[in-house]
Amino acid sequence: MPEYQYLSGFGSHFSSEDARFPNALPVGQNSPQKCPHGLYAEQLSGSAFTAPRTENTRSWLYRIRPSVVHQPFKRFEGVAPFLRGTGWEEQHPNPNQMRWNPFDLPAAGSEVDFVAGLHTVCGAGDVRARNGLAVHVYLANCSMKDTAFYNSDGDMLIVPQQGPLDITTEFGRLYVKPNEICVIPQGIRFSVALEGPSRGYILEVYDGHFRLPDLGPIGANGLANPRDFLTPTAHFEDRSVEGYRIVSKFQGALFVATQGHSPFDVVAWHGNYVPYKYDLARFMVINSVSFDHCDPSIFTVLTCPSNRPGTAIADFVIFPPRWSVQEHTFRPPYYHRNCMSEFMGLIFGRYEAKEGGFMPGGASLHSMMTPHGPDHRCFEGASNADLKPERVADGTQAFMFESSLSMAVTRWGEETCQKLDARYYECWQALEKHFHL
């Protein structure tokens, strides 16, 4: 379908025109005295003007009306009451291992769209200081109607778990299925249409943008390859709508303004500050072919670096189907205490280190220095298995949001949702002492 055409590449400088209006992009300059077809030129900046060229992100949009044509913003009262972006002190700190059963979809007969269905599970930092992150889930069952949303606080990496997302953005349209992800950078307006009840996870970062990890000795190829990232092509609508709503998440709160037209009126655009999607099945796995279990960093799809070299505000890591061939090795993930926070989710299947209890649509959080690792059943099985080459994680896709920040759990995450598994700790209690002289 023409509305789902894409441009491939990561970090590229793209140009796109809606095929219905060729030559809509100005030639040789960004802001001519009069733009082609009577369009308005508008720049969307994702970095400071003076950021180094390798980090400078911006796009020029050529639209029917500029974004500034709207009524004043007002607090959007009563919508998404469990959305948080600040005030992480509402609960006492809790260092315990946490695991959530699948989060409930909206009740039958209710209408909850993507924005209203946002629930914050945990997070850290301060949106005003532009340092930190938040982990949300969305639980929705209807499309956004004459409503667009944008996040003033940071980028959103969206991981659908149940149901595809038909996302209209200012840059064009994205169709994102489970086992795909999409990233909507800060400030880009979008609207989500659903085909039925939908659930998924969101990693939001307040500072910087997601980038591909450096490969170091891996070399030039591997992991997530740049050409597999897809950005939509220009696809506009010229639609007058009385009371079209623009919802902004600003400093952790929601605000709404109205205007008389659709904001998706961009006829052409060019730049490198764009929304994009990626199919997790295209990830090229790197793994050990001799002995020992590699660190999970080899499964990093995207990273948002901090100011400390090699340390991320957030990494997005997956555990895809692969061959396991290590010799004389305990093959599942090792027992671990980490200076990072680890939030895990399951899109489908059964995670290899905990085949029981960790279910699609649920999650777990292992906080800084809280020990974790395989449960008793996994340990005993892997310790006594015949170490022949075998497929691991077929029919499964687990992922991890890992952060150098210590995340606090919200009251909704710890109490209100009523999905926290109080017996999670029991999966390790049967581990026996095997020590012998």
Alpha-carbon distance of 306 to 420, in angstroms, equals 30
Residue 135 corresponds to which tokens in the numbers above?
Answer: 């982990």
Bridge partners, residue 297, by sequence: none
Strands 98-100 and 118-126: unpaired
Residue type, 199: R
**Which residues have C-beta within 8 Å of that of residue 208, sequence separation ≥ 6?**
304, 305, 306, 313
Residue 400 corresponds to which tokens in the numbers above?
Answer: 């991890």
Angle at CA of residue 138, ends 2 and 116, nearest 5° = 95
Does the annotation flag 342 for ligand binding?
yes
Q: Which residues are catalytic?
A: 293
Does the annotation flag 372 for ligand binding?
yes
Alpha-carbon distance of 133 to 203, in angstroms, equals 7
Bridge partners, residue 319, by sequence: 398
Give the N- to C-terminal CA distance of the chain in Å, as an integer: 68
**Other residues' Cβ atoms within 10 Å of the Cβ of residue 193:** 18
Nearest to 96 by CA among 333, 375, 366: 366
Does the annotation flag 90 for ligand binding?
no
Instruction: List the alpha helices (DSSP H) in 279-363.
Output: none
Alpha-carbon distance of 23 to 17, in angstroms, equals 7
**Other residues' Cβ atoms within 10 Å of the Cβ of residue 226:** 11
Alpha-carbon distance of 196 to 152, in angstroms, equals 28
Does the annotation flag 261 for ligand binding?
no
Summarize the annotated binding site for Fe cation as residue ranges.
336, 342, 372
> Which residues make up each annotated binding site?
336, 342, 351, 372
The binding site for homogentisate consists of 351, 372
